[in-house]
């Protein structure tokens, strides 16, 4: 089951690992995050991708209205990190959860967008 969210979160970036076996890569990404007054530590990154957003709105002349940033078109480009994480205070025996964390480049903020059960 997947629960959708659009909750602001605080993220601490650090070195995280993506991949398995010999294909493991070290990158900078979300290492810890706070959500709903709870702190989580990222155990592993399951996937990472960038969604281009409304790329078709980039063409043409100046635009105004909802969804348009002050310095140009806000095309909604966002970076999504699917991570396994556990609550910090619950210890190593705490069950691991799967979370989709989203960095919205145009807004400069992090959101929790999905929790997978």
Whether the CB-CB separation of 71 and 58 falls below 8 Å is answered with no
Domain count, the chain: 1
Q: Residue 117: its pLDDT value, please?
A: 78
Q: DSSP state, 23? A: G
pTM of the model: 0.76
Closest CA to 5 of 101, 81, 97, 75: 101
Residue with tokens 């409304």: 54
69-91, pLDDT tens digit by residue?
A: 444 555 678 899 999 999 987 66
Which parts of the chain sit beneath pLDDT 50?
69-71
Q: Residue 89: its pLDDT value, please?
A: 79
Q: Residue 95: its pLDDT value, please?
A: 80
21 SS3 class: helix
Residues listed for the chain: 117
Q: Residue 70: its pLDDT value, please?
A: 46
Residue 52 domain boundaries = 2-116
């Amino acid at each position: 089951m997947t629960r959708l969210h659009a909750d602001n979160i605080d993220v601490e970036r650090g070195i995280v690992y993506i991949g398995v076996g010999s294909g493991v890569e070290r990158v900078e990404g979300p290492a810890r995050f706070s959500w709903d007054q709870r702190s989580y530590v990222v155990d592993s990154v399951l996937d990472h991708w960038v969604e281009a957003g409304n790329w078709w709105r980039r063409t043409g002349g100046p635009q105004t209205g909802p969804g348009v940033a002050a310095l140009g078109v806000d095309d909604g480009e966002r970076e999504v990190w699917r991570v396994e994480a556990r609550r910090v205070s619950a210890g190593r025996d705490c069950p691991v959860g799967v979370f989709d964390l989203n960095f919205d480049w145009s807004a400069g903020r992090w959101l929790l967008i999905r929790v997978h059960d």
